[in-house]
Every structure is written in structure tokens, then in C-alpha cells.
């Protein structure tokens, strides 16, 4: 019985650790998405100005 209880406790700890790592990856991915979304909108605005240049 004691070995089984140790196994259950270790399993629960590993599940919590995996959930924490998953949450960290999701937060990093979301932050990365916010950063690139800001750059993409800036990039689109800067390329939009050069698209229709006047010719002489």
C-alpha cells in the first residue's frame, strides 16, 4: 500500500509540473503573438506608403 501511495503522489506531482510548463509555454506563445502582431501592423503600414509611389 505504501508503494502505491508514493506512486500516486509522484504521479500527481508530475501532472502539476506538466501543467505548469504547459501554462508557461502558452503564455510565452501569447506574448510572442502580441509582439509580432504589433510589428506586422507597422510593417503593413510602412509598405503601404511605398506601394503607390508617384512617377515623374
**What are the domain boundaries of the chain?**
1-37
Instruction: Write out pLDDT tens, residues 6-47.
Output: 999 999 999 999 999 999 999 999 999 888 776 655 555 555
Q: Provide the pLDDT for residue 29.
A: 93
pTM of the prediction? 0.55
Half-sphere exposure of 21 (CA within 13 A, CB side): 6
Position 49 confidence tier, pLDDT thresholds 50, 70, 90: low
4-16 burial, b if ≥16 CB within 10 A, otherwise e?
A: eeeeeeeeeeeee
The DSSP H or E segment spanning 1 is: none
Look-up of cell digits 510602412:
46
Residue 35 in 3-state DSSP? helix
Q: Provide the pLDDT for residue 47.
A: 55
Amino acid at each position: 500500500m505504501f508503494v502505491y501511495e508514493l506512486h500516486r503522489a509522484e504521479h500527481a506531482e508530475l501532472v502539476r509540473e506538466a501543467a505548469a510548463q504547459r501554462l508557461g509555454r502558452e503564455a510565452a506563445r501569447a506574448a510572442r503573438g502580441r509582439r509580432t502582431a504589433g510589428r506586422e501592423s507597422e510593417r503593413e503600414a510602412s509598405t503601404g506608403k511605398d506601394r503607390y509611389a508617384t512617377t515623374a
